[in-house]
Amino acid sequence: MKYLLLVHHDEDAFGKMSETTRKEMLHESVQLTHQLHAKRQYLSASPLQPASTAVLVQVREGKPMVTDGPFVETREQLAGYFLIDAKDLDEATSIAVRVPGARIGTVEVRPLIEISGLPTHECL
């Protein structure tokens, strides 16, 4: 089973943390990806640029509309993701618990829909 871990945190609060703390957390995340990789649980992961850098694209009646900002304003913003392969929801959750973002924010664990016919990626 594949799961997407969506890591959310309060960007303002995160920004106020010391540079060292933030670097430590990033380092911890990178380490986590290596640990997951060693157990064949890692597929893809990355931090995201702040929500303010997001662009929203819609097409209505054939016309593309490009607007600024994330699709939803929330107290916590999407800050990164981990795409993992886990035995079941409990294993996925136990990995989510190890994501540093879970300590300062929220990790949403979403199962992927397993479909056939998608391009196979080298990293998967």
Partner 1 sequence: MKYLLFCCMEEKKLETISRSQRDELMDETRIYCEELHKSGHLLVSNPLEPVEMAVTVRVRNGGISLSDGPFAETKEQIGGFFLIDARDINEAVQIASKFPSVRLGSMEVRPVVDLEK
Partner 2 sequence: MSEVTDSKVRELVEEVYREESRRVLATLIRLLGDFDAAEEALHDAFAVAAEQWIRNGVPSNPRAWLVSTGRFKAIDGMRRRARFDASLTEHAKQLESALYPLEEPDDESIEDDRLRLIFTCCHPALAPEAQVAMTLREVCGLTTEEIARAFLAKPSTIAQRIVRAKGKIRTACIPYQVPSETDLPARLDAVLRVVYLVFNEGYSASSGGSLTRHDLSAEAIRLGRLLVELLPDPETMGLLALMLLHDSRRVARISATGELILLDDQDRSLWNRDQIIEGTILIERAFASNQVGPYTIQAAIAGVHAEAPQPAETNWAQIVALYDLLMQAGPSPVVELNRAVAVAMRDGPLAGLSLIDSILRRGELSNYHLAYAARADFYRRLGRTTEAKASYEQALGLTQQEPERRFLKRRLAELHDYG
Q: Enumerate binding residues for partner 1 (CB under 8 A).
A: 2, 4, 6, 8, 26, 30, 43-44, 46-49, 51, 53-60, 64, 66, 70-72, 74-76, 78, 80-81, 83, 89, 93, 96-97, 102-103, 105-113, 115, 117-119, 121, 123-124
Q: Cα–Cα distance between 114 and 93 in angstroms, integer?
A: 19
Residue 39 binding target from partner 2, partner 1, none, CB below 5 to 8 Å by type: none
Residue 30 binding target from partner 2, partner 1, none, CB below 5 to 8 Å by type: partner 1
**Residue-by-residue DSSP string for 62-96:** TEEEEEES-SS--SSEEEEEEEEE-SSHHHHHHHH
* End-to-end C-alpha distance for the chain, whole angstroms: 13
The answer to whether 82 and 7 are in contact (CB under 8 A) is: yes
Among 1, 26, 30, 124, contact with partner 2 (rule: CB under 8 A) = 1
DSSP assignment letter at 116: S
Q: Which of 86, 123, 89, 124 is nearest to 108 (CA)?
A: 89
Asked if 88 interacts with partner 2 (CB under 8 A), we say yes
Beta carbon of residue 21, minimum distance to partner 1 (angstroms, whole number): 16
Among 87, 119, 122, 123, contact with partner 2 (rule: CB under 8 A) = 87
